[in-house]
Amino acid sequence: MKKFNVCIVGGGSTFTLGFLKSFVRMRKEFPLQKLVLFDIDEKRQELVGKFGEILFKEQFPELEFSYTTDAKEAYEDMDFVFMQMRSGGLPMRAKDEHIPLSMNLVGQETCGAGGMAYGLRSVVDMIKAVHEIRKYAPEAWVLNYSNPAAIVAEALRREFPKDKRILNICDQPENVVRSCSRLLGCSWEDLDPVYFGLNHNGWFTHMYDRNTGEDLLPKLKKLIKENGFLPQDAEQRDPSWLDTYGMVETMMNDFPEYLPNTYDQYYLYPEYKVATSDPNFTRADEVMAGREKRVFAECKEVIEAGTLGDKFDDISDAHAEMMIEVAIAIAYNKNDRHILIVENNGAIANMQDDAMVEVVCELGANGPRPMGVGNISQFYLGLLVNQVSSEKLLVDAYYENSYQKALEAFTLNRLINDAKKARKVLDLLMEENKGMWPELR
Ligand code: NAD
Ligand code: G6P
Ligand code: MN
């Protein structure tokens, strides 16, 4: 049986421990020969790397594991490159959130002004990184989930138009499916969703029972009305995530036709989101005080002890599992269904062909085959055309070094929607992103 070589870009990410543990747990379904972590931050990655050395020595000794800041060492001979970089790090995420909020605009890492600020940083770094990957591993599958995935996907589509081995993925649609399984009391693998949208802006039109074909959406609507909506792993979530999932009930009261992605809340209730955010302690602060601290404390504890001890119990990690399942689908030509970000080309019949949309795809060795949803109705079409236009203008701004295009992207964005505010928040963000954005003139 072939064994695979995998590189993780963003080896020092707070999500890497989950991947390392999941690679051990899934070693039969996805056997690895070699795993390399790559990061530009040597210190940050070293802690995760040393943790990995101990983990694999105890649990997966035949694996060739290493970590590096050298691109050639990282990418040569790779079959899959998983990308989870955060351009500018969590401190810049905090600025992406704080600055818009200081103007009473939504402060979110992937949506609105903050998402576009992060978008320009990510596009610069991701394009550079994928060129480096292609230099050393022309055939490797690039599985990207670095955010903002919608904007990154649009930029990679333009930069690498002929490259059919770049895939952009988000875990949120599947997280919502998993939440539905919690409510329905079934396994999430028994659910067969129909979904359309853009990344972080989409809807489930059906939620079929995979075994019987019954559409469970009417039942789900009733259950959500009666019980609210919780993440599948609610017990491990910070309070802000519980509020986010709770908003699904609100959205379904106002727009009962479909089940929304949790991120639709930012587009539908921006005033509520601003009013309930603390401009001095946003999600980035919560992550830095919580997940980031926990992850690196766990690394240090294991490194000091020289053994994993009981740290192997918390092994299940939905995010990592999802991304590994995507690699498995490609590796073994499974042609099973995943919700992926792909070029539209008619999947949403009444949207432009060159939009990067998020839909259910069958995924195998030759890439994703999107499953069409036909025409979507005016309300959804209006929301999506508005958002995709903003995202495309932002990527234009990158390619043309155009302040004007960035201003248009910001003005059109539903979470800003006013030219004077757009100019002001763009100028503030441009100042804070000097050297990290393309130069806008
Ligand atoms: P983090 O800051 O903890 O980790 C990111 C790592 O990337 C850091 O160690 C940093 O040094 C490294 N990095 C930054 N620029 C780099 C570059 N140019 N090349 C290589 N490495 C680089 O952030 P995090 O909270 O762990 O998130 C990591 C990424 O994963 C983010 O982009 C986040 O948005 C994304 N993410 C996406 C999904 C999804 O559904 N698509 C889900 C979870 C996380
Ligand atoms: C979800 C989204 C990701 C996003 C993450 C943020 O999983 O799909 O795109 O990066 O949430 O989570 P955090 O805990 O960092 O706020
Ligand atoms: Mn996402």
Q: Could you give the 3-state DSSP secondary structure of residue 143?
A: strand
Tell me what pLDDT residue 310 has.
78
Exactly one of 118, 245, 263, 266 is catalytic; name it. Answer: 263
Residue 107: give its domain's CATH number. Answer: 3.40.50.720
- In percent, the amount of the chain with pLDDT more than 70 equals 99
Query: Does 33 have pLDDT greater than 70?
Result: yes
What confidence category does residue 313 fall into, taking pLDDT thresholds of 50, 70 and 90? low
pLDDT mean over 179-203: 97
Could you read off the pLDDT of 281-303 as tens digits, one per residue?
999 999 999 999 999 999 999 99
If you take atom 30 of ligand 1, which residue's CA is the nearest one? 84
pLDDT of amino acid 172: 98
In this prediction, residues 394-421 reach a mean pLDDT of 98
51 pLDDT above the threshold of 90: yes
- Sheet-wide strand order for 32-38: 64-68, 32-38, 4-9, 80-83, 141-144, 166-168, 336-343, 356-364, 367-370
Q: Is residue 178 part of a domain?
A: no
Phi, psi of 185, deg, nearest 5: 70, 35
> Ion ligand 3 — residues with CB under 5 Å?
170, 172
| Structural domain harbouring 93 | 4-168+289-318
Instruction: Please tell me the distance between residue 367's alpha carbon and the centre of ligand 3 in angstroms.
Output: 20
What is the model's pLDDT at position 315? 61
Chain-centre distance for alpha carbon 105: 22
pTM score, whole prediction: 0.98
Q: In this predicted model, what pLDDT tens digit does every residue of 112-149 receive, in sequence order? A: 999 999 999 999 999 999 999 999 999 999 999 999 99
Q: Among 200-209, 307-316, 383-392, 398-407, which stretch is predicted with the lowest mean pLDDT?
A: 307-316
**pLDDT reported for residue 309:** 86
Mean predicted lDDT score pLDDT of the chain? 97
Q: Which pLDDT value is given to residue 241?
A: 95
- The rounded Å distance from CA 61 to ligand 2 centre is 32
Residue 10 in any domain: the answer is yes
Q: What is the pLDDT of residue 312?
A: 73
Establish if 237 belongs to a structural domain: no
Question: Could you tell me if residue 120 is inside a domain?
Answer: yes
pLDDT digits (tens, 9 = 90+) for 342-382: 999 999 999 999 999 999 999 999 999 999 999 999 999 99
Task: Pick the atom of ligand 1 nearest to 93's CA.
Answer: 2
**Among positive and negative, which fits the CA dihedral 241, 244, 249, 250?**
positive
DSSP structure string for 208-271: EETTT--B-HHHHHHHHHHH----TTGGG--HHHHHHHHHHHHHHHH-TTSEEPTTHHHHH-HH
Count other C-beta atoms under 10 Å from residue 249's C-beta: 15
171 Cα nearest atom in ligand 1: 40
Ligand 2 centroid distance, CA of 117 (Å): 16
Return the pLDDT at 147.
98
47 pocket-lining for ligand 1 (C-beta < 6 Å): no
pLDDT confidence of residue 1: 81
| Exposure b/e, 411-433, CB count within 10 A at least 16 = b | bbbbbbeeeebbbbbbebbbeeb
In this prediction, residue 111 carries a pLDDT of 98
Look at residue 100 and tell me if it is in a domain.
yes
pLDDT in tens, 160-175: 999 999 999 999 999 9
DSSP string, 149-199: HHHHHHHHHHHSTT-TTEEE--SHHHHHHHHHHHHHTS-GGGEEEEEEEET
d(CA 143, CA 320) in angstroms, rounded, equals 12
138 found inside a domain: yes
pLDDT digits (tens, 9 = 90+) for 74-105: 999 999 999 999 999 999 999 999 999 999 99
Task: Give how many domains the chain has, as a whole number.
Answer: 1
Q: Give the span between the Cα atoms of 367 and 383, in whole angstroms.
A: 28
* Residue 161 covered by a domain: yes
| C-beta of 329 in contact with ligand 1 (< 6 A) | no
pLDDT of residue 311: 73
Q: Looking at residue 343, what is its pLDDT?
A: 98
CB 188 within 8 A of CB 232: yes
